[in-house]
Structure 1
Amino acid sequence: MTPPPVAGPVAGRTVAVRVPATSANLGPGFDTLGLALSVYDELEVTSLAQPGLEIEVTGAGADDVPRDASHLVVRAIAYAYEAFGRRLPGLRIVQRNLIPHGRGMGSSGAAVVAGLLAAKGLLEGDVEMSGDDLLRLATELEGHPDNVAPALFGGLTIAWMTEDGPQHKKLLVHRGVSPLVFVPEFTMSTSLARSMQPTQVPREDAVFNVSRSALLIVALMQSPELLLAATEDKLHQDYRADAMPATNALVHELRSHGYAAVVSGAGPSVLVLADGPGRRLEAAEIVAGSDTPWEALMLAVDFKGGTVRDITEGST
């Protein structure tokens, strides 16, 4: 018989959480590679003495985010409390979203990570959650670790599954790598994008992606001049092309000019891994003349990952 949950720390604690956007796959590294980017969702979460939810959301996707227990941040907090046998308190959440929703920049993974980090902060001193705990819980909620790993730990991450659960390795990115994301007005459903892929692929395509994934690690860490070749892919982008023709066209246009452009996550945003700030500006100039409006985000690699800190009045 499962023991009843116990109460967590005294109500009134407030924590501040900050989580970066992410771009998964990076071309050939399907469901494995992810990169943290310098666009952030921020929130303050307070535990309340009385049950209930108070949710305030501004910024990206604010009109579509639920204000009840189905809110993804609330679900993640509740999931962590339940996992550690603690009773969920009332919650006040003030959230400011800057990560675009439905654009392939890890907004759902960021919400999951934000909720888990909030739970970690609220339970500090009562329950200690390790990085491995957070990655396991995040993967259970999100379904795969490629977005949540860089959101948690920052930088470039390799994520994989074992019998013991999800694992990750964080790597440093060469300082010459200059990310640029082109964000369209339209959105793309991750579940729809994933449904368009076959369950089997030709052996030569699998071998092709293994070679490019290995090369991509080298290109991102020490040889950015190899990024164009290293971001070639045969496992997922072509299969999804019909669902987002403007994205597919932009990727091919940029690559024809020598830029390492890929679909960001499930799309429809396009990630360019330029080998220097000057090259990034040149890519932005090409897209500025496109018939499809794209918002160009000149970003940096986030090396810190998600953070949480206690901001309770009177705390030190």
Structure 2
Amino acid sequence: MTSPPTATKAPAPGFTATVRVPGTSANLGPGFDSLGLAVSLYDTLAVTTLATDALEFDLHGEGVEDLPRDASHLVVKAMDLAFARLGYGRGGLRISAQNVLPHGRGLGSSASAIVAAIAAANALVEAADRKDRQWVLQLASEMEGHPDNVAPAIFGAVAISWQEGGAYATTRLTPSDAVIPVVAIPGFEVRTELARGLLPATVTHADAAANAGRAALLMHALKDAPELLAAGTRDYLHQDYRATAMPESAALVAALREGGHAAFISGAGPTVMALANGDVEADAIVEFIGRRGGSDNSAASDGVSWRVLRLAVDLEGAKVEVHPGS
């Protein structure tokens, strides 16, 4: 990261920025580090500027018992970087968070936190100093290392992202109304670093060519031909290599795909996502997972408890409001 400019001022006290950010699923099978989908699970962050230099926390929901309450919190780190790039110092903050996205499950919890923090910081500086969403994309991608989760978190829908000339870029695809995401969230975590470390340094030309073809097919399937989603989500680059870190997830993906459903590992896992073509298939996927071990919304299979959720594609991305604080 380049060095930020020297801070010359602090945000005015007495204002609150509230940011709602959707969860995301990266890769979607063949789109490794380039495709992401925003879904209707939301983390909410509210940041109030204080007249003192205090740093206060009010955290609720997923994983809060393990989160720090000091400047090492990811939200504070991201806000510090954003403020510095904008020419500001942090000042005092009250950080209130409602975490819905499970941590370490492949649904973009860290991307959501980074996007929310940068968007909040940007909203709390003087209007003349605020930047657009492309600026948020650059800084959030810089922190995450790639844009596959942060782009759909910012813009919603399906994001197709790449890096060129040292900058990150993305374009947005609105999928067919027939596309319905269904997720099965297990009760265990897989660290992204572990999952990424299992990938080989090189792949065969045949696998690369096959993956390129499936990624292209997936774009057509998402937009115009959802009956081709199962074929379009076939991956050759990363899922098989990561299976040893999440064998239960790999087994569920295999079982769903054998049944003709467009299932894949969500991000680095271990959550499994399936893209249904309409209500009938979505219900069938929920029922299928339930039959493997229990009820429709909490299935136990192979000793693993799965939380099964039928979601929607989020089309709005991060939403920011600023108002006088309390």
The yes-or-no answer on 1:86 pairing with 2:98 is no
Aligned to 2:55: 53
Tell me by how many angstroms 1:105 deviates. Answer: 0.2
State how far apart, in whole Å, the 2-side matches of 1:232 and 1:67 are.
42
Verify: 1:161 aligned to 2:163, yes or no.
yes
Say which SS state the counterpart of residue 311 (structure 1) adopts: strand
Secondary structure in 2 matching 1:183: strand
Q: What is the CA-CA distance between 1:285 and the residue it aligns to?
A: 0.9
| Count of matched residue pairs | 314
The one of 306, 313, 316 equivalent to 2:318 is: 306
Q: Does 1:71 align with 2:83?
A: no
Equivalent-residue separation in structure 1 for 2:5 and 2:82 (angstroms): 16
* Structure 1: gaps spanning 5 or more residues: none
Tell me how far 1:9 sits from its aligned partner: 3.6
Aligned residue in 2 for 1:274:
276
Change over 3 Å in CA distance of 1:12–1:246 after alignment to 2: same
- CA-CA distance at 1:50 after TM superposition: 1.1
Partner of 2:42: 40
4+ residue runs of structure 1 moved beyond 4 angstroms? none
In the alignment, the residues of structure 2 paired with residue 173 and residue 70 of structure 1 have an alpha-carbon distance, to the nearest angstrom, of 38
Aligned counterparts, 1:73-222, within 5 A: 73-222=75-224
| Cα deviations by residue, 1:240-280 (Å, 9 ceiling, x for unpaired) | 00110000000000000010000000000000001011101
Q: Distance in 2 between matches of 1:295 and 1:4?
A: 47
List runs of 5+ in structure 2 lacking aligned partners: 293-300
Contact persistence 2:215–2:232 (CA under 8 A): yes
1:164, CA displacement in angstroms? 3.9
Distance 2:174 2:226 in 1: 13
Which residue of 284, 288, 291 corresponds with 1:286?
Answer: 288
1:52 to partner: Cα distance: 2.3
> Cα offset for 1:4?
3.7
1:251–1:14 CA distance, 2 compared to 1 (3 A): same
Shift of 1:136: 0.6
Change (3 A) 1:181 1:88: same
CA contact (8 A) 1:247 1:263 kept: yes
- Letter of the structure 2 residue corresponding to residue 115 of structure 1: A
Aligned CA-pair RMSD: 1.4
Instruction: Tell me if the contact between 1:27 and 1:232 (Cα under 8 Å) persists in the aligned partners.
Output: yes
Q: Partners of 2:161 and 2:126 in 1: how far apart?
A: 27
Kept in 1: contact 2:4–2:85 (CA 8 A): no
Given that residues 9 and 126 in structure 1 are in contact (C-alpha distance below 8 angstroms), is that contact kept between their aligned partners in structure 2? no
* Percent of aligned pairs sharing the same letter: 47
Determine if contact 1:145/1:160 at 8 Å carries over to the other structure.
yes
The aligned amino acid for 2:84 is: E
Structure 2 counterpart SS, 1:32 = strand
Farther-moved stretch of structure 1 (287-296 vs 177-186): 287-296
Equivalent pair of 1:47/1:92 in contact (CA under 8 Å): yes
Note if contact 1:8-1:126 (Cα within 8 Å) is conserved in structure 2.
no
> 2: CA distance between counterparts of 1:82 and 1:2?
5
Does the residue aligned with 2:189 lie in a helix, a strand or coil?
coil
SS in 1 for 2:66: coil
Number of the residue aligned with 2:296: none
- The CA deviation string for residues 206-228 of structure 1, in whole angstroms up to 9 with x for no partner, is 00000000000000011100001
